[in-house]
Amino acid sequence: MIEPSLIGMVMAVGMMAIAIGLSSWQRLGLSKMLAIATVRTLVQLMGVGLFLAFIFATRNPVAVLAVLLGMVTIAATVARSRIDRDLPRLLQWVWLAIFVSGLVTMSYVSLLVIRLEPWYDPRYLIPLTGIVLGNAMTAASIAGERLVSALRNNRTEIETHLSLGATPVQAVMTYRQAAIKAGLIPTINAMMVVGLVTLPGTITGQLLAGADPLMAAIYQILIMFMLALATLIASLVVTYGIMQQFFTSAMQLVDPAVG
């Protein structure tokens, strides 16, 4: 494996200097944002690297679980802010959606596919879970935002279905299905062109680390299947939770953010 030197890393930062220079030249108004993004990337990733080095060295199951729960909470907070900041109890549903998607997917993979020994091996569990949670967060954000918008923008049509005897589930089924599909589109699109148009980060990283190309491809296949399952579960749970908030026990459509 070719490890970048200190000079090499300085030269890498030079790419951002070029980007900032181009932005200033074209007066795009992005120079400040690019500079902040550069600093945050350096600080955050170096901090994560040092922290994970400590976790990998200790191999403590309690510490590993604490890290994973922290990742779930951060992902849920970000997803909730992208869906709607005013919906009550939305954070709990988003947290549950991301947690369940990660738990089911990683339990299946850890116990049946790669069979981790021990089960909390941080070198595998934390990176794989991070990939799953990041994509589950994106899927939950897209599906949740799409469903909330649909419920608010199609109130008359939904109430018409309810007045004709439809249940809340039946009245919003079309909108929920569309929201779930929207949440899965990024993952499905990636699966359609993986290896043909792009080489994902996992296989690229393994190749750069000197792994066998076939083994790297197998790991990437595993990850793509993990993401498909996790994003579907996250979308299902978060849309179900949103539906629960928009209907009363008397099957009336309400906007909990207003009430």
Tokens 């000079």 correspond to 7
pLDDT at 60: 93
Kindly indicate the confidence band of residue 229, based on its pLDDT and cuts at 50, 70 and 90: very high
For the chain, what is the mean pLDDT?
91
Residue 251 lies in a domain: no
Query: 123 and 13, same structural domain?
Result: no
Tell me if 243 sits within 8 A of 168, measured CB to CB: yes
pLDDT at 3: 65
Query: 66 and 182, same structural domain?
Result: yes
- Please determine, for residue 7, whether its predicted confidence score (pLDDT) is greater than 70: yes
Query: 204 and 124, same structural domain?
Result: yes
Residue 252 lies in a domain: no
The residues near 241 (Cβ < 8 Å, ≥ 6 apart) are 89, 90, 92, 93, 94, 96, 97
- Please determine, for residue 175, whether its predicted confidence score (pLDDT) is greater than 90: yes
Amino acid type, 30? L
pLDDT at 6: 77
Q: Which of 45-54, 170-179, 194-203, 216-225 has the lowest mean pLDDT?
A: 194-203
pLDDT at 116: 87
Kindly indicate the confidence band of residue 104, based on its pLDDT and cuts at 50, 70 and 90: very high
- Please determine, for residue 232, whether its predicted confidence score (pLDDT) is greater than 70: yes
pLDDT in tens, 159-168: 999 999 999 9
Of 58, 82, 105, the residue that ends a domain is: 58
pLDDT at 248: 86
pLDDT at 2: 61
Tokens 């030079």 correspond to 14
Residue 130 lies in a domain: yes
pLDDT at 113: 93
Residue 87 lies in a domain: yes
Query: 116 and 85, same structural domain?
Result: yes
How far are the Cα atoms of 106, 182, 254 from residue 240, in angstroms, in the given order? 22, 15, 15
Query: 138 and 171, same structural domain?
Result: yes
pLDDT at 4: 67
Query: 10 and 77, same structural domain?
Result: no
Residue 108 lies in a domain: yes
pLDDT in tens, 44-97: 999 999 999 999 998 899 999 999 999 999 999 999 999 998 888 899 999 999
Tell me if 253 sits within 8 A of 158, measured CB to CB: yes
Q: Which of 22-26, 141-145, 148-152, 191-195 has the lowest mean pLDDT?
A: 191-195
Query: 54 and 85, same structural domain?
Result: no
Q: Which of these, 71, 55, 218, lies nearest to 136 by C-alpha position? A: 71
Q: How many domains does the chain have?
A: 2
pLDDT at 141: 97
Residue 258 lies in a domain: no
- For residue 75, give both structure tokens: 């992902």
Kindly indicate the confidence band of residue 259, based on its pLDDT and cuts at 50, 70 and 90: low
Q: What is the mean pLDDT of residues 106-132?
A: 92
Residue 223 lies in a domain: yes
Tell me if 94 sits within 8 A of 76, measured CB to CB: yes
**Host domain of residue 18:** 1-58
Query: 90 and 54, same structural domain?
Result: no
Query: 242 and 115, same structural domain?
Result: yes
Of 41, 58, 75, the residue that ends a domain is: 58
pTM above 0.85, yes or no: yes
Of 58, 85, 102, the residue that ends a domain is: 58
Query: 236 and 120, same structural domain?
Result: yes
Kindly indicate the confidence band of residue 1, based on its pLDDT and cuts at 50, 70 and 90: low
Residue 259 lies in a domain: no
How far are the Cα atoms of 61, 121, 134 from residue 55, in angstroms, in the given order? 10, 10, 20
Kindly indicate the confidence band of residue 213, based on its pLDDT and cuts at 50, 70 and 90: confident
Query: 75 and 16, same structural domain?
Result: no
Query: 39 and 72, same structural domain?
Result: no
